[in-house]
Amino acid sequence: MAEASKTPTQSNKVPHQGDHDRIQMPSVKADGTLDQHNPELIGDKETTLAAVKEQFVQQAVSAADVVNSSGGTTVEGAPQDPAIEAAVKEHEKVAAAAEKAAEKLVDDLHKG
């Protein structure tokens, strides 16, 4: 019985870093940099913008929660924790900034 190859075959032989990556939605590394090489947006700009806004907002709100986490627990019927109101305001602030960053990124990539 022949042993299966452990390295994938390259179906479309192109240089590892071609001239650029064609994408519908960018992938963002944990440090906020793009994970594509000189990306070019393809497809509908508004669809891309909506998806990137959602991605950036979710990442920003999650990061804010990690930074501001008090490690508390919830209890049924307990009075509202004042920290919740502060967290909601922080979510709104970082979400707005994330949406602006998404718009800038998509506009910049769409021009290219």
pLDDT tens by residue, 35-88: 888 888 888 889 999 999 999 999 888 888 887 775 555 556 556 667 788 888
Residue 11 forms part of a structural domain: no
pLDDT band at 16 (very low <50, low <70, confident <90, very high): low
Assess if residue 2 is contained within a domain.
no
Tens digit of each residue's pLDDT (9 = 90 or more) over 5-14: 566 565 556 6
Collapsed DSSP state (helix, strand, coil) of residue 51: helix
Q: How many domains does the chain have?
A: 1
Could you tell me the pLDDT band of residue 28, with boundaries at 50, 70 and 90? confident
**Type of residue found at 96:** A
* pLDDT (0 to 100) of residue 83: 79
* Tokens linked to 55: 């991605």
Residue numbers of the domain that contains 105:
22-30+37-68+83-111
The partner residues of 45 in beta bridges, in order of sequence, read: none
Q: What are the phi and psi torsion angles at 41 (to 5°)?
A: -75, 135
Q: In this structure, is residue 95 part of a structural domain?
A: yes
Question: Is residue 97 situated within a structural domain?
Answer: yes
Q: What is the pTM of this model?
A: 0.60
